[in-house]
Chains A and B, each alone.
Chain A
Amino acid sequence: MRQAILSGALVCLLLPAAACKIVPNPDPNDQSEALASRTDEARMAAYVDANWESQVLPVIAEHEVAYDTWRQALAQGLDAAGEAHGLRPDGEANPWNFVVSGTGTVTEAKLDSRAAKMQVDMDSDGAADVVLQLGPIIRGTAMRDAMPFVVFTDFRDQIEFAKLARAMNERASAGLTRPEGDVIGQTVSFTGVFTLRAAGDTPEIVPVEIEMGATP
């Protein structure tokens, strides 16, 4: 009898232990933001390297449209231009992205910045029509969002997806021959990608190719 009580008590003592698994809280220091983001960055940079020649450049070649042709299409409205030449991810209210190539004259430039830029006049009226973002810091996610093979669902979360956008921007910037010196008044030929949210916005193009020409 005593034994039964004892083993009963023992079972009672053991039961909670068997039913609960003690899971330690992860040490927040083990996964510090910096470490996690470095890993993401490295992984996304590798992803971009692996897909640049095989997937990114072919998409650009396939969807490239001459700047003048694109302007004419835009005159019919942003959605019309988008249907004709644009790329965008599925989902509600995603803006259009375009790939254009063209030649223009540099009207303004800021080349000594981490976010280097050139303003370019495309229709010889002296006013800038587009901005070329030379980087290495490039605004926006046009490169990523123009790629039909890039699907948000395939990525862990927004943070990884943002690192992908940045890695693509950096890869585009790294592939450019950076112009130097006084470029104002020089001609520039380019192929690049940009997002357009409203027809009246100035395209802020992420070039994958630029070539400076002689002063006309």
Chain B
Amino acid sequence: MSITRRLFVSGLAITAVLPTVRAAQAQGKGLIAIITPSHDNPFFKAEAVGAEARALELGYETLVLVHDDDPNKQSEMFDTAIARGAVAIICDNAGADASVAPVQRAKDAGIPSFLIDREIKTSGIAISQIVSNNYQGAQLGAEEFVALMGEKGPYVELLGREADTNAGIRSAGYHDIIDQYPDLQMVAQQSANWSQTEGYEKMETILQANPGIKGVICGNDTMAMGAWAALEAAGRTDVIVVGFDGSNDVRDSILAGGIKATVLQPAYRQAQLAVEQADEYLRTGSTGQPEKQLMDCVLITPDNAGRLETFALADAS
């Protein structure tokens, strides 16, 4: 059923946009499709904005789409990109397994994909997969968390969405550090699916069952914001919260003495780099880089939070 709908939709898309594409190709270097999760999370918005800005600078047209972490929607968007004759696809994907097929379809249609933030389970079908060094970043966050906790006390971990490799890798990085300290006890570990609302709700419930908690380590910043709001509402601003992403929201909370630390993923630069590699690939047939690339993360504390803006850290002056 969904196949029929997809075909129908792409059929519509072809009919609707063919004239536009022809016009675009006549003037520019072609169309780059930029597909990310919902812009409600500023992290994904920064990716889309960063990629689009760089693509326009390099002389491309852009098509910005949002898959809302729905693999079916993502699949339709890849078909739209194919139908519109995109020259490249920049994508923060909707699932390590589910994204293999659409990336392959784009490849079969002669369109190279450049993935950011999240990996897919298969190599050899995307041209680039540029991801944050989540393991390194999580270890940085965990070391800071351990220090803030004074190496002891009960704590909670809020995990990201299970289908996302980044949820697992961050948790692994956290525990490789935290589990060395026997006086740190994890009293609850739950997924809040990267969501601020769920972070709030889960934190509220966990807090009722475990009023003695001293810290919360979160797989991303939106969950940290949700958890912090719940703690504030319960009058528990003594609880240490650490996030991951480096969003402006968490930066502001850190500077106001709320959340204690986060880990910056260079999301803006990462998206720009993907576009640069797409451009290089389209011009020369090679990016000059291995397919899978890691980018280091940076610990954000009150010391450097003031230099953080839209997922990029300005140099210390």
Interface residues of A (CB under 8 A from B): 16, 19-20, 28, 33, 37, 89-95, 113-115, 137, 139-141, 151-159, 161-162, 165-166, 197
Q: Report whether B296 and A37 are in contact in the complex, using a CB–CB cutoff of 8 Å.
A: no
> What 8 pairs between A and B have smallest CB-CB spacing?
A91-B293, A162-B135, A152-B292, A153-B292, A158-B169, A153-B291, A157-B165, A153-B123
Is B96 in contact with A91, judged by CB distance below 8 angstroms? no
Dominant SS among interface residues on chain B = mixed
User: Is B135's CB under 8 angstroms from A90's CB?
Assistant: no
- Apart from A140-B139, A159-B169, A161-B135: 13 A-B pairs, beta carbons within 8 A: A89-B293, A90-B293, A92-B269, A92-B293, A114-B180, A137-B176, A137-B180, A153-B290, A154-B123, A157-B121, A157-B169, A158-B165, A162-B176
Q: Which of A33, A152, A155, A166 meets B293, CB within 8 Å?
A: A152
A158 lies within 8 A of B119 (CB): yes
B166 — which chain A residues lie within 8 A by C-beta? 158
* Interface footprint category on B: 20 to 34
- From the candidates B1, B136, B139, name the one contacting A20 in the complex (CB within 8 A): B1
- Taking a contact as CB atoms closer than 8 A, the residue among B1, B173, B273, B295 that contacts A162 in the complex is B173
Interface residues in B74-128 by Cβ distance below 8 A to A read: 96, 119, 121, 123
B134 interface hit (Cβ, 8 Å): yes
Q: Which of B135, B180, B296 contacts A94 (CB 8 A)?
A: B296
Contacts known (A91-B294, A93-B295); A162 close to B289, Cβ less than 8 A:
no
**A137 to B179 alpha-carbon distance, docked (Å):** 10
- The answer, yes or no, to whether B156 is at the interface (CB within 8 Å) is no
B residues at A contact (CB < 8 Å): 1, 3, 96, 119, 121, 123, 129-131, 134-136, 139, 162, 165-166, 168-169, 172-173, 176-177, 180, 266, 269, 273, 289-296
By a CB distance below 8 angstroms, the chain A residues around B129 are: 153
Partner of B273, one of A90, A92, A114, A153: A92
Bound Cα distance from A154 to B119, whole angstroms:
13
Least CB distance, B84 to chain A, in whole angstroms = 27
* List of B residues within 8 angstroms of A156 by Cβ: 121
Contact of A94 with B168 in the complex, beta carbons under 8 Å? no
Question: In the complex, A137→B96 CA distance in Å?
Answer: 29
| Interface residue SS majority, chain A | loop
Q: List 27 interface pairs A-B (beta carbons < 8 Å), by A numbering.
A: A20-B1, A33-B168, A37-B172, A90-B289, A90-B293, A91-B130, A91-B295, A115-B180, A139-B177, A140-B139, A141-B136, A152-B292, A152-B293, A153-B129, A153-B290, A153-B291, A155-B292, A156-B121, A157-B121, A158-B119, A158-B166, A159-B169, A162-B169, A162-B173, A162-B176, A166-B176, A197-B296
Asked if B296 and A93 make an inter-chain contact with CB atoms under 8 angstroms apart, the answer reads yes
Q: Decide: B139 and A139 in contact? CB cutoff 8 A.
A: yes
CB-CB < 8 A to A37: which residues of B?
172
How many whole Å from A136's CB to the nearest CB in chain B? 10
Would you give the shortest CB distance from A142 to chain B, in whole angstroms? 11
Q: State the Cβ distance, B178 to closest chain A Cβ, in Å.
A: 11
Of residues A89, A94, A162, which shows the largest number of chain B Cβ atoms within 10 Å of its Cβ? A162
How far in angstroms is the closest Cβ of chain B from A22? 12
Q: How far is the CB of B314 from chain A (nearest CB, A)?
A: 15
> Which residue of chain A has the shortest Cβ distance to B266 in the bound complex?
A93
> CA A141 – CA B297 in complex, angstroms?
14
Residues of A within 8 A of B180 (CB): 113-115, 137
The answer for the CA separation of A154 and B302 in the assembled complex, in Å, is 38
Within the complex, what minimum Cβ distance (angstroms) separates A5 from chain B? 24
Write out the residue numbers on chain B whose beta carbons fall within 8 Å of the beta carbon of A137: 176, 180
For A137, the closest partner residue in chain B by CB is B180
A contact residues around B173 at 8 Å (CB): 162
Contacts of B96 in A (CB 8 A): 157
Residues in B with CB closer than 8 Å to A20 are: 1
CA distance A35 to B195 in the complex (A): 27
Is the pair B134, A158 in contact by a Cβ cutoff of 8 Å?
yes
Is B165 within 8 A of A94, CB to CB? no
Contact A89 B172 (CB under 8 A): no
Closest partner residue, chain A, to B135 (CB atom): A162
Q: Would you give the shortest CB distance from B54 to chain A, in whole angstroms?
A: 14
B290 x A158 contact (CB < 8 A): no
